[in-house]
Structures are given as structure tokens and as C-alpha cells.
Amino acid sequence: MIENTLTFEDLYISLEEIYEQMGYGVNIPDESIVSETIELLNHIKTILSPRFSFFIADGVADETANTLEAVGRKFHIGKIISRQLRGSRRYAFFVATAGVEFEEFQEELKSRGDMVKIFIADSVGSVLAEKTADVMEESLQKLLDSYGWKHTNRFSPGYCGWHVSEQNDLFSTFPVEDPCGVKLTSSSLMVPIKSVSGIIGLGDNVRKVEYSCGLCDYKQCYKRRKPSKNS
């Protein structure tokens, strides 16, 4: 298993990405929001400790049953993910998180009741988690390069027909308890909330594609919030 702790600078986050997550699209918010965002980021940089962890395992995918058997578990990943993992020879299981420190900062903001700061921090946290997962993918690909392999998109419980309840099975595959300090609630939600987990297909005959929202009926997926290049 590979684990890594990152810094804010490792994530290469731009203000534009945060504004997009906040719902401004390609527009810039007003001066007060920009000022609040920069102030929050300057503080977040001093406390942030994002982490990721992944391991690689053999697995058997059944495209008829839309399942993946790996590490002693059977995952009912659904038709969409099953199709996207086609051709995989092995699988990476991962967790990435903005970190416990960021979660504690969010709780502190909530106790103060400053709704503007709470909203900005929530958007920043979503970007932090996804960018940490992006860095995880880069680290994974460096390992795969020596084999001439590639990887698929990452897929998480709760998306594309994979029920969130299988988050428990996913976490049980890790050789350590609470990887990256991430715990599960009784309803299979991750704490810290700003965390990402899932699987990635690996092999010499797989590919990573643009997320195709037309294939999925999950309306709240963060990928749907990205404006098209033509908009």
C-alpha cells in the first residue's frame, strides 16, 4: 500500500476552480467574495494536510452480472462502471481526503455561524478532495509507466449505479483501519466529509475518458457542474 501526505502547493489549485465549484462558472464573484476566499485560503494553507492511499490487487470482473470480485469481496458496481472497467487486468483501491485538519476547521466555522465563510470553505473542501485524488492518480500512473500500463477513470460508491452501502466493503479491503484517517458513519458516509474513495481499472488495454454525463442518471454528481467548453 502506498500512502502520501501532501501540501496545498502540491495540489495546484486555482481560484478559478474554486469559483467554478461555488457556482460562478467562468465568471468572477464580487470583490467581497474574492477577498473572503483569498483570506480563507491563506489560513487553510497553514493547517492543511491532505492525504491519499492506494493499493493494487487482482480482481475478476463479470460484465454480465456487473460485479467485481477482489480482495475477498464482491462489489456490485453496476452496468456503467462495469463497462468502463472493461479490459482491466488489475485494480487500484484508493482513498483521498482533504484531511482531518480541514474538517476541524469547517466545524469551527460552523460554530461561529458565518454562512459566507461556511459556503466558501465547503466549496474549497470539495476542490481539495478532488485535487488530492488527482495527485493520487498521477502517483499511480508513475508506477504503471514501467509496465506500459494505463488506468481508467476513478469510480466511487454512490455514483453511476454503485450503491453507497458498499463503501463498507471497500474500506474493509484496506490493510489498515481508517486509511488516511477516514472513518465511515453508520450510513456509509465518509468522515472527513471532503474525501473520495473508490476503484480504478489498470492495464495495457484500458483508457481514461471524459466523464460522460449522458451515461449516468445521478443529477447531483459534481462532474455535472462543470460547464462545457462551448458554453
> What is the mean pLDDT of each successive set of 10 residues along the chain, which is 231 residues long?
95 95 93 95 96 96 94 95 94 97 95 94 96 97 95 94 94 94 94 96 90 54 48 35
> From edge to edge, which strands make up the β-sheet containing 195-203?
2-5, 51-57, 90-97, 195-203, 150-155
Whole-number Å distance between alpha carbons of 34 and 87: 45
Q: Report whether 150 contacts 207 (CB < 8 A).
A: yes
- The predicted pLDDT at position 210 comes to 72
End-to-end CA distance of the chain: give it in Å, rounded: 41
- The predicted pLDDT at position 77 comes to 96
Distances in whole angstroms, Cα of residue 34 to Cα of each of 20, 117, 163: 13, 11, 37
- The predicted pLDDT at position 98 comes to 97
Q: Report whether 133 contacts 223 (CB < 8 A).
A: no
- The predicted pLDDT at position 224 comes to 52
- The predicted pLDDT at position 33 comes to 95
Partners of residue 155 on adjacent β-strands: 199
- The predicted pLDDT at position 93 comes to 98
- The predicted pLDDT at position 228 comes to 40
Q: Is 134 helix (H, G, I), strand (E, B) or coil?
A: helix
